[in-house]
């Protein structure tokens, strides 16, 4: 019961952070409009409380939202359950199908993760003080290829899965027009592996947005080598952001 109350308070806090800021919403819409057109299909992998789902719907896209955390699945269904343009899949995505151990951060569920390495990297890291992943749940996991076979090829895939991004991309073997994945400065190796996977999938133009700025840093396509250099040179206190990859 105590964990449920703590989780509910954390989710309410996240809803207040991620909803209701018109300036932020407008910036997000401008950013995603580069990749998403009306009628397009978008996969939101790691939908959390669904603020990106809202942006994709404002742009007229159809959305499949993937979120394995039971409390966040309930939240998404409460907000979007009556929208026929949104499918909510209570699943994790990875390199294969089966089940996976999800480590829940009860007080900050948007940083829950399937990655043991992520938890280890966060321990004692600057900017990650006080984060605890004390609850574990077994959740179903499938692959992007499996979901593409079910729903069709998305025009854009957004991936935000706390250190599991490269694993998600390992489950994709088909060319795609564009995608984004979160990076953190405590796990640059994961982002570098994700860049390598993007290159293998034929994605060659890269850019990035820091934190929740919703603004591209470079404004023009960078090479994979250029993005790798930028990522390696990024100061530790940059903390996190998203890398965008597009087929040339």
Each residue's pLDDT tens digit, 98-146: 999 999 999 999 899 999 999 999 998 998 999 999 999 999 999 999 9
Burial 156-186 (b: 16+ CB within 10 A, else e): bbbbbbbbbbbbbbbbbeeebbbbbbbbbbb
How is domain 2-246 classified at the architecture level of CATH?
3-Layer(aba) Sandwich (3.40)
Q: Kindly report, residue by residue over 165-215, the tens digit of the pLDDT.
A: 999 999 999 999 999 999 999 999 999 999 999 999 999 999 999 999 999
DSSP 124-160: T-TT-TT----EEEEEEEE-HHHHHHHH---SEEEE-
3-state secondary structure 205-235: EEEEEECCCCCECCCCCECHHHHHHHHHHCC
pTM of this structure: 0.95
From the list 180, 239, 169, the residue with the least C-alpha distance to 205 is: 180
The pLDDT of residue 220: 79
What is the C-alpha end-to-end distance of the chain, expressed in Å? 51
């Amino acid at each position: 019961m105590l964990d449920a109350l703590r989780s509910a308070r954390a989710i309410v806090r996240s809803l207040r952070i991620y909803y209701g800021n018109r300036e932020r919403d407008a910036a997000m819409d401008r950013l995603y409009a580069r990749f998403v057109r009306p009628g397009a299909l978008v996969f939101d992998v790691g939908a959390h409380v669904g603020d990106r789902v809202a942006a994709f719907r404002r742009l007229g896209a159809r959305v499949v939202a993937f979120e394995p955390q039971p409390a966040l699945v309930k939240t998404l269904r409460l907000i979007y359950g009556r929208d026929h343009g949104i499918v909510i899949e209570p699943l994790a995505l990875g390199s294969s199908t089966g089940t996976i151990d999800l480590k829940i951060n009860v007080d900050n569920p948007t940083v829950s993760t399937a990655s043991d390495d992520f938890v280890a990297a966060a321990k004692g890291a600057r900017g990650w003080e006080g984060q605890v992943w004390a609850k574990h749940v077994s959740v179903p996991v499938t692959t992007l290829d499996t979901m593409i076979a079910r729903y069709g090829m998305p025009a854009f895939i957004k991936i935000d899965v706390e250190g599991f991004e490269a694993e998600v991309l390992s489950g994709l073997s088909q060319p795609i027009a564009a995608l984004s994945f979160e990076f953190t400065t405590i796990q640059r190796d994961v982002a570098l592996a994700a860049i390598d996977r993007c290159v293998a999938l034929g994605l060659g133009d890269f850019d990035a947005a820091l934190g929740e700025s919703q603004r591209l840093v470079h404004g023009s396509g960078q090479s994979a080598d250029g993005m790798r250099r930028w990522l390696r040179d990024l100061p530790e206190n940059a903390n996190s952001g998203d890398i965008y990859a597009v087929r040339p």
